[in-house]
Amino acid sequence: MLRLFAFLLLAIGLPAAYAAPAAPADTVTNFHAVLLDNMKHAASYSCKDRMQRLTPAIDNTFDMPFLAQHVLRRQWSSLNDAQRSEFAATLKDMVVTTYASQFTKFNGEKFVTQDTQENGKMRSVRAQLELPAGDPVHFEYVLRETPAGWRTINVIAEGVSDLALRSAQYDKIFKDQGFDGLITQIRAQTAKLKSSC
């Protein structure tokens, strides 16, 4: 699970704990409840089941339009509307699949939402994943307020920014292989995750 956070980094079937978030910490806590539900039902949930539960949770946790634009940075302005929509959908599919393929077992793990800090218009929510053995995994959600509520625009795990890491990777692929090459690589990565999910 640590590699998921380090690489980082958005209803039917949702657990009862999932509710409309009123504060930044609620957004984080509700998302963790969905992840934990998937983990606890690993024996009965298929990959498809986990993805179905995660898709609305991703929408209610992450600002995917913002992420799609900012992960491509200066390359975004060179895309037409159809390409922007295609990239956003491809990115979301990869994010959903990543969470579905990583959070598949439960061994007594526990998510703990800690404090919220203000940073101008942004909010940073610190949390940790407590493991049955070993040190907890510390991470931080950076959120901004949108018309739909507080949404995550970056996840920082053990000091590693998902947005910065992903942006650097995608920028290099885009420069080397263009938009189509980037889409092909992301879809190939997603397909690989689905095959082992």
Structure-token pair, residue 26: 């609620």
Q: In the prediction, which pLDDT does 42 show?
A: 84
Give the pLDDT confidence score for residue 196 in this predicted structure: 86
pLDDT at residue 197 in the model: 85
3-state secondary structure of 117: strand
pLDDT computed for residue 1 by the predictor:
44
Q: E-assigned strands of the chain?
A: 110-119, 122-130, 137-146, 149-157, 160-161
Q: Which domains does the chain carry? A: 2-195 (3.10.450.710)
* Inter-axis angle of helices 64-72 and 162-195, nearest 10: 110
- Spell out where 28-132 has E strands: 110-119, 122-130
The token pair at 180 is: 């189509």
Would you state the pLDDT for residue 16? 36
152: its two tokens? 């995550």
User: Considering the entire predicted model, what is its pTM?
Assistant: 0.85
Give the side-chain half-sphere CA count within 13 A for 74.
4
Sign for the CA dihedral angle at 185, 181, 51, 168 comes to positive
Q: Could you list the mean pLDDT of each consecutive 10-residue stretch along the chain, which spans 197 residues?
A: 38 37 90 95 91 95 96 95 98 96 92 94 96 92 95 94 94 96 97 91
